[in-house]
């Protein structure tokens, strides 16, 4: 990404000129643009326009902030065995500031960041991974002696667009799980005055990041977003509705344990806690690690990592339903419900027996018996006299 390269994209050349110099053929470039048009959902007919627009693109400036996070998102983007043009593009994009990848450290790079943000004020793309802790004045994250809130606020001021990459930047991820001791929140809780694009996932798929950046470079605008700020082209459908194991779900064929026959036959993972029915992500289509595989393809249930609060609501990962908070971890919803229903049935039975006992005592003339009132028959006496008469 920020590694030294003999083919640096100089500020004077366009992307088209640069790719030529780099040895990317026009055929490769056009076929990649066609793929991206499909990924973005604009249709392959749009390819000529995308080719034209991308060829003219000048080197954009990118500031990548890493806040409260584990660096996994950067790793996810980097770990590619077979670099595509998309990876190349991310390589080429001028990372003016990126903790993990830049060679320098300390005051020098902080100064470089300040310079880049000043020179490109209002034009640079801000990519953020990691959440912002708000508890105790944000002391749980400091960079160069400043809190994450401060650093983010400053960087956001001059950004042309903001992309929050990963579950941490989206809503806080594991550090925001109950009880959230550092008060971690997502980027869109801090930046309120403009849209933040959320590339959801823990980590997200690198292709989604690439496609979003390309959309921005091509159209000068961010792609259409859903209610959580996630690009619709990627997060517009549930895993469950794109799953290659859906046929087994509909047929009623489920893996019961991870080593059973159903697991070997690649049946549906619904009963071992798959969160595909609650999770919006392009995993089944885009897949991971250079399109090698994805969790469900490898026989593991989806954990729902593109959804907010998934550490709290999608756990236990191998159960269908979340645990009931306040009733203890071991007692799940069904145990409580079944106990109450059985209790009701038992209570009803006991009450019926008690009623029967009271009635038989009353019939036997027990003076201590409770007499249960009757609404629709005449007084007992009349019935008895009636019977006597007919007997006689």
Partner 1 sequence: MSVHTEVPSLSRGLPVAYKRVRLWQWPLRIMHWIVVLSVAALIVTGFYIGTPYFMSEGQAADHFVMARMRFTHFVAAGVLVATAIVRVYWLFAGNKFERWDALLPHTRADWKNLWLILKKYMFIEPAKAPHYLGHNPIQEISYTTMYAVAVVQILTGFYMYSLSNPGGLLFNAFGWVGIVVGGAQVARLLHHVLTWTWLIFIPIHLYLTLRADVVHQESRISSMIGGGRYVRADLDFVDD
Q: Name which of residues 354 to 373 contact partner 1 (CB under 8 A).
A: 354-355, 358-359, 370-373
Q: Near partner 1 by CB under 8 A, which window of 74-82, 91-99, 193-201, 238-246?
A: 238-246
- Are 372 and 359 spatial neighbours (Cβ–Cβ below 8 Å)? yes
Q: Near partner 1 by CB under 8 A, which window of 45-53, 145-153, 190-198, 376-384?
A: 376-384
Residues 6+ apart with CB under 8 A from 52: none
Site string for partner 1, 192-231 (x = CB under 8 A): ----------------------------------xx----
Report in angstroms how near the CB of residue 317 gets to partner 1 at its nearest.
11
311 binds partner 1 (CB under 8 A): no
Determine which residue in the list 236, 257, 292, 328 makes contact with partner 1, applying CB under 8 A. 236
- Are 131 and 186 spatial neighbours (Cβ–Cβ below 8 Å)? yes
Closest CA to 97 of 106, 85, 109, 82: 109
Count of positions (residues) in the chain:
392
Q: Name which of residues 315 to 334 contact partner 1 (CB under 8 A).
A: 320-322, 324, 333-334
Q: 12 phi and psi, to 5 degrees?
A: -85, -20
Q: CA–CA separation, 358 vs 218, rounded Å?
A: 84
- Are 216 and 182 spatial neighbours (Cβ–Cβ below 8 Å)? no
Q: 108 phi and psi, to 5 degrees?
A: -60, -45
Q: Helix crossing, 85-92 with 206-219: angle to 10°?
A: 70
Site string for partner 1, 275-294 (x = CB under 8 A): x-xxxx--------------
Please give the residue ranges that form the binding site for partner 1 (CB under 8 A): 226-227, 232, 236-238, 240-241, 247-254, 262, 270-271, 275, 277-280, 304, 307-309, 313-314, 320-322, 324, 333-334, 336-338, 340-341, 343-345, 347-348, 351-352, 354-355, 358-359, 370-379, 382-383, 385-386, 389
């Amino acid at each position: 990404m920020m590694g030294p390269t003999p083919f640096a994209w100089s500020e004077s050349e366009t992307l088209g000129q640069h790719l030529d110099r780099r040895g990317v053929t026009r055929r490769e470039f056009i076929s990649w643009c066609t793929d991206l048009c499909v990924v973005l959902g604009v249709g392959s007919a749009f390819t000529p326009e995308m080719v034209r627009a991308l060829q003219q693109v000048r080197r954009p400036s990118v500031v990548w902030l890493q806040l409260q996070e584990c660096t996994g998102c950067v790793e996810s983007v980097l770990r590619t065995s077979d670099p595509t043009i998309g990876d190349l593009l991310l390589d080429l994009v001028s990372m003016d500031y990126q903790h993990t990848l830049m060679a320098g450290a300390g005051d020098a790079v902080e100064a470089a960041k300040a310079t880049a943000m000043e020179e490109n004020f209002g034009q640079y793309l801000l990519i953020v991974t990691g959440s912002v802790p708000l508890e105790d004045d944000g002391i749980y994250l400091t960079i160069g002696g400043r809190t994450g809130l401060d650093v983010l606020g400053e960087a956001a001021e001059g950004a042309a667009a903001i992309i929050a990459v990963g579950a941490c930047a989206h809503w806080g991820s594991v550090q925001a799980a109950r009880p959230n001791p550092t008060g971690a929140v997502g980027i869109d809780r801090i930046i309120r005055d403009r849209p933040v694009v959320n590339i959801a996932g823990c980590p997200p798929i690198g292709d989604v990041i690439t496609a979003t950046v390309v959309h921005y470079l091509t159209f000068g605008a961010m792609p259409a977003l859903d209610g959580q700020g996630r690009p619709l082209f990627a997060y517009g459908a549930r895993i469950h509705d794109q799953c290659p194991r859906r046929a087994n779900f509909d047929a009623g064929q489920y893996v019961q344990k991870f080593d059973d026959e159903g697991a070997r036959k690649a049946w549906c993972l619904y009963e071992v806690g798959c969160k595909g029915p609650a999770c919006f992500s392009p995993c089944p289509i885009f897949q991971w690690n250079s399109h090698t595989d994805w969790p469900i393809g490898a026989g593991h249930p989806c954990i729902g990592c593109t959804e907010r609060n998934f550490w709290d609501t999608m756990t236990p990962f191998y159960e269908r339903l979340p645990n009931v908070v306040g009733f203890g971890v071991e007692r799940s919803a069904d145990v409580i419900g079944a106990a109450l229903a059985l209790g009701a049935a038992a209570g009803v039975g006991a009450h019926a027996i008690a009623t029967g006992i009271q009635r038989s005592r009353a019939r036997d003339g027990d003076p201590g018996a409770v007499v249960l009132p009757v609404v629709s028959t005449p007084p007992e006496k009349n019935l008895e006299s009636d019977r006597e008469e007919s007997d006689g």
